[in-house]
Structure 1
């Protein structure tokens, strides 16, 4: 029987993807809309901030759990998710370390190197932020649907060690605006995060 991954580590994955959305800037108009064009634009972003509203659909709950707060990204590997509602929580990814602070609990630090399958997932997201298509495709199958006016980037794990942690990631947007990231987990749970980028 497979053990479920630590909830804080899985939430850390959501943090990474949320920062991916937040970091996406203006997407250039192109005659052909391809993953290469999207990744090229992501590579230009050195920092970004935004707000999020996230809904988690968990089998044991009658209705989705909703949270909201702020996100920030600083290239190449600093990410922060600060939840403000329904209760304060802070998650920071700095290099290989995931830090978690929750009200009434002792701060927690997790070395991603202790979870190789999780580290592979995180590194692949970082490759997206860096615009490194080769590194991304080493771990994921990429599919970009639609056009610049309405597009969806789908990441599907190539290996079972990763699909045991995450089944699928979908990032969608319209024109220059990245609007949503959705996760599907192996146990049937899923989440959707809407991102609004803060203007300079």
Structure 2
């Protein structure tokens, strides 16, 4: 389920939030603001609560997002774990730089199909699956994603994104009662990428 959470996050980032919204003017302004940053680094803290867990799980680390190419999700605490998510694959990066493909889990295949649609410009794939409501202002905004009736809706209850100049917070609610809250700090333009980062995201 944690892999699905990361892929849901990546799907929304990669989509550029290209979905029909109840507040199209505000949404358009938010998109213009976010699109100024094509490669971003940030620190994250993730809190995950589930009815199946006796206590909440907390993790923290760094992420790198490059528009049109993917995201590196590097957990540093409580144990190191690095994933690369692109439109075609999800791989775990070992300490020596080797990459290991990850197997799909419940819901991942459908998210992957949605990613493929967005990568090829078929944005109707997104609008078919999500209702989006935007509120606030460009200085401080919220986007609420609610899945339309579908297989995805059987797994995902909804997603809320909050931000300003950059995306600041993601809250994901699953139908099984699992709640994931990801807060991002120290967000800034990425600057030059390392050779490993380029290789992981398929960049020359």
- The C-alpha deviation readout for 1:48-68, integer Å capped at 9, x for no partner, is 111100000111223311000
| Aligned-partner Cα distance in 1 for 2:104–2:51 | 29
| Aligned-partner Cα distance in 2 for 1:146–1:156 | 18
Q: Which residue of 2 aligns with 1:159?
A: 149
Residue among 27, 40, 55 paired with 2:47? 55
Distance 1:44 1:176, change over 3 A: closer
TM-score by length of 2: 0.71
- The C-alpha deviation readout for 1:45-91, integer Å capped at 9, x for no partner, is 32111110000011122331100001111120321100000001111
Distance 1:166 1:143, change over 3 A: same
Question: Which segments of 5 or more consecutive residues in structure 1 lack a partner in the other structure?
Answer: 1-6, 25-31
Distance 1:111 1:46, change over 3 A: farther
Q: Which residue of 2 aligns with 1:176?
A: 165
Alignment of 1:116-155 (within 5 A): 116-122=109-115, 136-155=126-145
Residue among 16, 35, 42 paired with 2:10? 16
Question: Which segments of 5 or more consecutive residues in structure 2 lack a partner in the other structure?
Answer: 18-23, 192-204
CA drift of 1:158 comes to 1.8
Residue among 160, 173, 176 paired with 1:187? 176
CA RMSD after TM alignment: 3.5
TM-score by length of 1: 0.72
- Contact conserved, 2:170 with 2:182, CA < 8 A, in 1? yes
* SS of match in other structure, 1:167: strand
- Contact conserved, 1:170 with 1:182, CA < 8 A, in 2? yes
